[in-house]
Structure 1
Amino acid sequence: MRTLAKFLGIVLVALMATQVHAQQINFDRNLDNFRYPDKRGINVFESPKDTTNTFNGVDVRVGGSFALQYQEIENENAGLPGYEIKEAGSNFNLATANMDLDVALYDGVRMHLRTYLSSRHHHEPYVKGGYLQIDKLEFIKEGFLEGLMQYTTIKVGHMENNYGDAHFRRSDNAQALYNPFVGNLIMDAFTTEVGAEVYYRRNGFIGMVGFTNGKLNQSVEEDETGKTGGASFLAKLGYDKQVNDDLRLRLTGSLYNTGYVPHSYLYSADRAGSRYYGVMQALESEGDDFRAGRYDPKLMNNITAVMINPFVKYGGLEFFGTVEMAKGKASYESDDRTAMQYAGELIYRFGADENVYVGGRYNLVDAEDISGEDVTIDRFQLAAGWFMTRNILLKAEYVIQNYNDFGAASIYNEGKFDGAMVEAVISF
């Protein structure tokens, strides 16, 4: 990945030099069928299906994001011998950065590639993933299946898979501008697998089916069962309608299912790491537990997950909810386990162009843990934010998270962390 990132950097410099020489830089930086990385992308879910065409030759849009947080959080647990945790202090976290390449390749054909230049888990650049998005088939023949493609989108790649709606509002390393809070959900559903997704959108209705190879880390090596991988099936069905100038309604249901995979990373795939640094880290551990603050039910080899997301926006007031059920097991377990997640967030945006907001979120996980215990984790977040420009966001959050019913042989026994964070985000 590092070699590929360096190669992409060289290609990027060459492309920019070519564009400057030819005086063909796209100063408005607009692309068709594209979710913008700035304030215009707020409350956008799947990339829009544009009705107009602006393609006029290959066009490279270079973008990126930068995020920096100041953290002041206190943490504690039962402190039993062998299960003590490191004490979190107050200071700045490592700044994170992304680089995006979005390229209009042909009329209705676009490529996206995201590279993490710096992240919590990897200080060096590495490629997150990318995809080819097809909204027209003009490259086959002019007008080919034009009636069908008016409502259809095809995505193929090693990409962020479209399970649920929560991943459209989460922080993706330095791209934290879409997220009104600092932290993501406790069970943070996010994965990048090789696959394809087909969308059909018409009159507000949304349908999507997709297949992937079920692998985060790609490899041709066989596991102990003699398999190089498995398969995952994705589906989404929903309705999204701007009812009038003030009211928008959206409701979707999503499915992610694997019969067998060598290792499912649905709740642990984000290598960028949790936004809460060092909060529940074992005292004797070395390095940084970059997933601290999250919960992975460890349904490692077989998983079925369902997520329902309602979204309502009336004027400046918006509600986004999550109801999620994940069921499955590791291959050495005989019985399935279940993890449930509930989250609701209420945001009020006001001021000129809704440039200021305040909001709150409550998040609860109730799970049959791999240890055999029935555990719960709850979190409450209060947040406020100010868009200084459409590319610059300053936000603050107060968070309190409690770990309940974890046994004595766990660092989460009577665990808790609470405190404040301030985050500055630039995205363009």
Structure 2
Amino acid sequence: MKLNILKTTALAAIFFSGLGHAQEQKFDNFSPRDQHGVNQFESPKDSVTTFEKLKVRVGGAFALQFQGVKHESGADQNNPATKLYNIGNNFNLPTANLDIDVALYDGVNLHLRTFLSSRHHNETYVKGGYLQIDKLDFIKKDFLGDFMKYATIKVGQDEINYGDAHFRRSDNAYTIRNPFVGNYLMDAYATMVFAEVYYQRNGFLGMAGVTNGRLNQNATGGTSPSVYAKIGYDKQVNNDLRVRLTGSVYNAAQTQRLDFYDGDRAGSRYYYVMENAAATSSANFRSGQVIPDFKNKVTSVMINPFVKYQGLEFFGIFENASGRNFTEVDRRTWNQYGAELLYRFGNNENLYVGGRYNMVKGEMADKSNVEVKRYNVGGGWFMTKNIMAKAEYVNQKYDGYSPANILYDGKFNGVVLEAAISF
């Protein structure tokens, strides 16, 4: 514990030492982490360079929630295995991120994110990072210049670019892009070793990637490469209207441990909901999420429309996933549907209100067919471009689970408030 405290203190010192220079550093082809990053998806592609010499930008994020949620279960509350945790109105664990960006060379940038405090881990740990290459001038001036004018190469261990929902999710303390407090029910997010190639031109986007599908790396066998791709169109039609439509696919043919839908080690925002009375925060960090239990194989497809007309904004999800765990022979199928409708208004759209509907249904490993529905209603206020507050009402219901499952006829609802800072 003493070592962990020393590590956190040292990192915090680095963290705050960079505050005075954070606003002075401009990085090419990186998405901003403040309000200007809202509704950003892939990193922008611009051939104009501002690189002069190696420079480092230190930033980060903080988030804190007040949770006033109650839960119920139809399972036997006299049975210790299905007795619900006693939750009340209180504050959650504050979370913190440390971000380090480095401009290494003209067209070559590095990003690293560390979780200083998160729900699952009680120690500081690296979430992930990647090298982003927008020019190949380190090989030769203007090497493949006509291609690299529109292309980007990313290599590292970090969240892979499957679907568009991961651009609107909370990443531990970095929550400014998420208009609500919680992430989607079936959260396709995992940090894997990957390589991705992008091509963006005149609004059209193409991306191909490869990974080994593993969250934790080792030299054991039994893993085949996993491949994924995205194609889409994103266009600011005029000053009032922006339209975007993308389709993504991910396929893991064989892996020894697949964490595709349960790879977020930061944990769910809804603490202890529908958890057993003996639960601990670190061991039960996926409260309220839906895990299809695909550990060996999976094929997933996600389609995402996005439309913004003046202050009115719509984002949608249709996802189909099929896979199996190690004990199964046949694949099972899950579908996810999601829709967000927001209205942004005020000075520089610093205020918003809206709602989100999210539903998943599919077959469990025990052959039961289940359905989970959630809706959120809320709003937010950007006090400055780096500081925001948001509030939501959440309601989630479970159907189809067996009476022996703690989720049998389960539901939770209530109000969650969140304050967030990002820079």
TM range (shorter): over 0.9
Contact residue 7 and residue 124 of structure 2 kept, 8 A: no
| Match status 1:321 vs 2:316 | yes
Corresponding residue to 1:349 among 339, 344, 347 = 344
Per mean C-alpha deviation after superposition, the further-off stretch among 394-403 and 328-337 is 328-337
| Match status 1:213 vs 2:208 | no
What code does the residue aligned with 2:368 have?
A: E
What code does the residue aligned with 1:303 have?
A: V
Q: 1:64 to 1:246 in 2, by over 3 A?
A: same
What code does the residue aligned with 2:185 have?
A: I
Q: 1:109 to 1:3 in 2, by over 3 A?
A: farther
SS in 2 for 1:188: coil
Match of 2:174 in 1: 175
Match of 2:151 in 1: 152
Superposed CA deviations along residues 335-359 of structure 1, whole A, max 9, x for unmatched, are 1100100000001000010000001
How many angstroms apart in 2 are the aligned matches of 1:26 and 1:274? Answer: 29
Contact residue 197 and residue 209 of structure 2 kept, 8 A: yes
Structure 2: tracts of 5 or more residues without a match:
none
How many angstroms apart in 1 are the aligned matches of 2:386 and 2:183? Answer: 21
Quote the offset at 1:123 in angstroms: 2.3
Per mean C-alpha deviation after superposition, the further-off stretch among 285-294 and 320-329 is 285-294
Match of 2:365 in 1: 370
Quote the offset at 1:283 in angstroms: 2.2
Quote the offset at 1:14 in angstroms: 7.9
How many angstroms apart in 1 are the aligned matches of 2:376 and 2:198? Answer: 34
Q: 1:3 to 1:297 in 2, by over 3 A?
A: farther
How many angstroms apart in 1 are the aligned matches of 2:391 and 2:280? Answer: 30
Contact residue 73 and residue 419 of structure 1 kept, 8 A: yes
| Match status 1:119 vs 2:118 | yes
Match of 1:132 in 2: 131
| Match status 1:418 vs 2:417 | no
What code does the residue aligned with 2:363 have?
A: E
How many angstroms apart in 2 are the aligned matches of 1:8 and 1:233? Answer: 36
Match of 1:77 in 2: 73
Contact residue 71 and residue 422 of structure 1 kept, 8 A: yes
| Match status 1:386 vs 2:381 | yes
Quote the offset at 1:230 in angstroms: 2.9
Under a length normalisation based on structure 1, what TM-score does the superposition of the two structures give? Answer: 0.94
Quote the offset at 1:102 in angstroms: 0.5
Task: State how many pairs are aligned.
Answer: 418
Quote the offset at 1:306 in angstroms: 0.5
Quote the offset at 1:12 in angstroms: 9.4
Match of 2:265 in 1: 271
Contact residue 191 and residue 266 of structure 1 kept, 8 A: yes
Match of 2:335 in 1: 340
How many angstroms apart in 1 are the aligned matches of 2:230 and 2:64? Answer: 34
Contact residue 76 and residue 87 of structure 1 kept, 8 A: no
Q: 1:228 to 1:61 in 2, by over 3 A?
A: farther
What code does the residue aligned with 1:104 have?
A: A
Q: 1:312 to 1:124 in 2, by over 3 A?
A: same
SS in 2 for 1:389: coil
How many angstroms apart in 2 are the aligned matches of 1:113 and 1:5? Answer: 21
Counterpart mapping for 1:208-287 below 5 A: 208-220=207-219, 222=220, 227=221, 229-287=223-281
Quote the offset at 1:15 in angstroms: 11
How many angstroms apart in 1 are the aligned matches of 2:8 and 2:137? Answer: 28
How many angstroms apart in 2 are the aligned matches of 1:213 and 1:347? Answer: 37
How many angstroms apart in 2 are the aligned matches of 1:235 and 1:58? Answer: 32
Match of 2:52 in 1: 56
Q: 1:262 to 1:4 in 2, by over 3 A?
A: farther
How many angstroms apart in 1 are the aligned matches of 2:236 and 2:263? Answer: 33
Per mean C-alpha deviation after superposition, the further-off stretch among 238-247 and 279-288 is 279-288
Q: 1:12 to 1:272 in 2, by over 3 A?
A: closer
Match of 2:63 in 1: 67
Quote the offset at 1:5 in angstroms: 11
Match of 1:303 in 2: 298
Q: 1:145 to 1:16 in 2, by over 3 A?
A: farther
Q: 1:13 to 1:71 in 2, by over 3 A?
A: closer
Superposed CA deviations along residues 112-153 of structure 1, whole A, max 9, x for unmatched, are 000000001112210000000000001111111111000000
Contact residue 65 and residue 99 of structure 1 kept, 8 A: yes
Q: 1:313 to 1:139 in 2, by over 3 A?
A: same
CA RMSD of aligned residues (A): 2.2
Q: 1:326 to 1:6 in 2, by over 3 A?
A: farther
SS in 2 for 1:270: coil
Superposed CA deviations along residues 312-352 of structure 1, whole A, max 9, x for unmatched, are 00000000000001101112111110010000000100001
SS in 2 for 1:305: strand
Match of 1:42 in 2: 38
Per mean C-alpha deviation after superposition, the further-off stretch among 79-88 and 283-292 is 283-292
How many angstroms apart in 1 are the aligned matches of 2:5 and 2:235? Answer: 40
Contact residue 5 and residue 115 of structure 1 kept, 8 A: no
Contact residue 386 and residue 395 of structure 1 kept, 8 A: yes
